[in-house]
Chain A
Amino acid sequence: MSQAFTKSMARNIFYGGSMFFFLLLLVLTFDTVESLPQTDNRENLTAQVAKGKHVWENNNCIGCHTLLGEGAYFAPELGNVHKRLGKEGVIAFIKFRPKNGIPGRRSMPQFNLTDDELDAVAEFLKYTSEINTQNWPPNIQG
């Protein structure tokens, strides 16, 4: 009787195990997509919010900031910035960035957004701040 652990057994564990957990991932993914309407705040996903997401993307905001904790860690979290600054505060902050930065400080570029784009990105951040994130971040500072 052979006691040796054979290669074909190792192979079966690999194929069997990966298929098993891939299927499980598919099932959980399906369940998540089905239940997202309860948490993702989609009832407030207006055309302006969608537009704001494009403004957000086209200016690579994620290159410095985090959004719900994902992104770069160079500048503040923006998932809850709406709660921190309010819509007008957000717009004013983006609008009045000095073109050449602030000497010696981390500086946000002047993106020259139109008023409509400013409104859109602020709406997008308002929408994001209302997503159910299981109470993350721990406090208002993000």
Chain B
Amino acid sequence: MSKKQLMTTKITKYPPGEIIIWLFIMAELMVFGLFFAAYAVTRIDNIELFELYQQNLDTTAALYNTIALLSSSYFVVRSVIAIKHNQQQDSFKWMVLAIIMGLVFIIIKTDEFAHHVSNGITLSTNTFYMFYLSLAFFHYLHVILGLIILSVIARNINKGAYSAKEYTNVETGASYWHMVDLVWLILFPLVYVM
């Protein structure tokens, strides 16, 4: 697919995908938003504690994970564009790449969690870890759910279920995946960097 094709792909309807997924995305963002707000407010009250323990987090791993999710989102975009041009094989290829990058995220994040567990850190260790683990783990489960959705879509693309005429489900899955990505893009600076 050429760059030109990328530019000329029009959004034929708005919002893309099933309308219901946007209700879910809104609900999800609301929940994450509440958690983020709660985190930010609590951090102000416990600034020293938070800054101290934030240093224990593996920022490098989180950076790799950011790259993994961003590239994964990009691959999903390519997959959607491909299916809109009836290029099912390309679409499948991009989707598989997106899933692989999602799995990279899961592997790195699982390693981070394993590291915490081996150090005896739990939700009850202190307020910082309560928030960090809650947010990170809740997001982690979303990545897993998103990967399951993408896998089902990839399988259907491969079976030829979607085409330039019928690709709503691909867009739906893609929208969800972008939401998962977006949440991470807030989580990363808020919890790791700030």
Contacts and interface: CB of A to CB of B under 8 A. Distances in A.
Interface of A: 1-3, 5, 9-10, 13, 16, 20, 23-24, 27-28, 31, 34-35, 38
A38 B167 contact: no
9 contacts: A1-B166, A1-B168, A3-B18, A5-B19, A9-B172, A16-B148, A31-B122, A31-B124, A35-B123
B123 A31 contact: yes
B145 A16 contact: yes
A3 B166 CA distance: 9
B14 to A, nearest CB: 11
Interface of B: 12-13, 18-20, 24, 122-124, 137-138, 141, 145, 148-149, 165-169, 172
A13 B12 CA distance: 25
Contacts of B19: 3, 5
A35 B130 CA distance: 12
Nearest to B17: A3
Nearest to A9: B18
Contacts of A31: 122-124
A70 B147 CA distance: 41
Nearest to B166: A1
A24 B141 contact: yes
A13 B24 contact: yes
Contacts of B20: 5, 9-10, 13
A38 B124 contact: yes
B122 A35 contact: yes
Contacts of B123: 28, 31, 35
Q: Most chain-A Cβ atoms within 10 A of its Cβ — which of B18, B148, B165? A: B18
A38 B124 CA distance: 9
Contacts of A16: 145, 148-149
Contacts of A3: 13, 18-19, 168
B26 to A, nearest CB: 14
Contacts of B166: 1-2
Contacts of B141: 20, 23-24
A5 B145 contact: no
Contacts of B167: 1
A2 B141 CA distance: 30
Top 10 A-B pairs, shortest CB-CB distance: A35-B124, A5-B20, A31-B123, A5-B18, A1-B166, A20-B145, A35-B122, A1-B165, A31-B122, A1-B168
B88 to A, nearest CB: 15
A14 B59 CA distance: 36
A84 B146 CA distance: 53
Nearest to A38: B124
B194 to A, nearest CB: 25
